[in-house]
């Protein structure tokens, strides 16, 4: 409004000031909404001849310039509309950029929270599959030693020796967990060696007839797949130790052109696979297997023993995979 008044004063005293409209029109369209800017521009283009008529009673020299003035008015409206559209699009883009930045910040926050949750789940799985099982074994062995302390010193020494070995392995696992390393059992040899040691330890701790068989050549498996199979075997044998009361246990590792399969069977108490699971074991085992496109199946019934099978297809078993220890 102030600019318009100044323009009117300039035209009144210096008529040639009308040329300022070429600079004013774009500014007006930038500063005002389009429905307001257009009438203002029309008014400013009409005012000079109107003032001329007011001063001299006739438009005088403006009569010959009317076609040019009309053309100038049309161009002013056209260019002004274009300028207004550019300004509007600039504001919309600025709003969109702000929205994208806010969305990116939200995504970053959600990613951070998801990463924290994944790390917690990973730690829960690692602790359950290693330290918790080891401590359970130590407690059972110490209790067995206590029951024989007054009767059979040889059994006491054997049980305490096993407990000490399990404690040392737990300590090594804890250090590996802190350092985010691969399982110590795989660091000391191949997957086949680690599974054989697990079977031998179960036999030593429970007295069950335990066998281990391997078919094919499982060497060359990605570390991620080896970790999945090792943790599954640890969980299965821990459940046998705690719940099955089995007299015969078999652990089989089979590597074929279609993939690799781990099978752990026992003739113990069995259970109902359809019953709600209260622990982390099978749920965590399935979560690990899914990370390498694997599957976990359980066949069991009360009083009929249990057979657990973990299968990883060829594609995952022969391609580098992310180590599941780095994921939930």
Domains in the chain: boundaries:
2-106, 117-326
What digits encode the pLDDT tens for the residues 269-306? 888 887 766 556 788 788 888 888 899 999 988 888 89
- Given a contact cutoff of 8 angstroms between Cβ atoms, the answer to whether 210 and 236 are in contact is no
Using CA atoms, how far apart are residues 131 and 183, in angstroms rounded to an integer?
A: 12
pTM: 0.50
- Which of 17-21, 39-43, 169-173, 255-259 is predicted least confidently? 17-21
Class of domain 117-326: alpha beta
Helices (H), the chain: 2-13, 21-31, 34-56, 66-126, 133-148, 153-178, 184-187, 191-206, 223-239, 281-291, 314-318
What digits encode the pLDDT tens for the residues 92-128? 899 999 888 888 888 877 766 776 666 677 677 767 7
């Amino acid at each position: 409004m102030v600019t318009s008044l100044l323009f009117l004063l300039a035209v009144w005293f210096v008529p040639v000031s009308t040329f300022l409209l070429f600079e004013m029109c774009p500014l007006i369209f930038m500063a005002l909404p389009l429905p307001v800017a257009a009438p203002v521009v029309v008014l400013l283009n009409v005012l000079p001849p109107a003032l001329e008529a007011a001063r001299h009673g006739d438009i005088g020299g403006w009569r010959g310039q009317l076609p040019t003035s009309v053309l100038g008015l049309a161009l002013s409206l056209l260019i002004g509309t274009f300028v207004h559209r550019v300004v509007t699009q600039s504001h919309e883009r600025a709003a969109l950029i702000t929205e994208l930045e806010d969305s990116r910040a939200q995504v970053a926050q959600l990613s951070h929270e998801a990463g924290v949750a994944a790390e917690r789940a990973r730690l829960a799985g690692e602790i359950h599959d290693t330290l918790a099982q080891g401590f359970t074994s130590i407690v059972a062995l110490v209790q067995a030693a206590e029951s024989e302390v007054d009767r059979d010193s040889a059994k006491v020494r054997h049980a305490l020796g096993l407990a000490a070995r399990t404690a040392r392995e737990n300590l090594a696992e804890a250090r590996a967990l802190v350092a985010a390393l691969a399982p110590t059992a795989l660091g000391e040899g191949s997957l086949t060696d680690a599974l054989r040691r697990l079977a031998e330890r179960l036999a030593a701790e429970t007295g069950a007839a335990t066998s281990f068989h391997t078919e094919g050549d499982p060497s060359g498996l990605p570390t991620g797949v080896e970790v999945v199979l090792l943790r599954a075997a640890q969980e299965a044998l821990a459940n046998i130790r705690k719940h099955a009361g089995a007299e015969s246990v078999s652990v089989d590792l089979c590597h074929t052109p279609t993939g690799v399969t781990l099978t752990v069977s026992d003739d113990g108490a069995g259970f109902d696979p359809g019953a709600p699971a209260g622990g982390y074991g099978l749920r965590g085992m399935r979560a690990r297997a899914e990370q390498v496109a694997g599957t976990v199946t359980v066949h069991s019934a009360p009083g009929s023993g249990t057979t657990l099978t973990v299968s990883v297809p060829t594609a995952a078993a022969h391609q580098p995979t992310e180590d599941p220890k780095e994921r939930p």
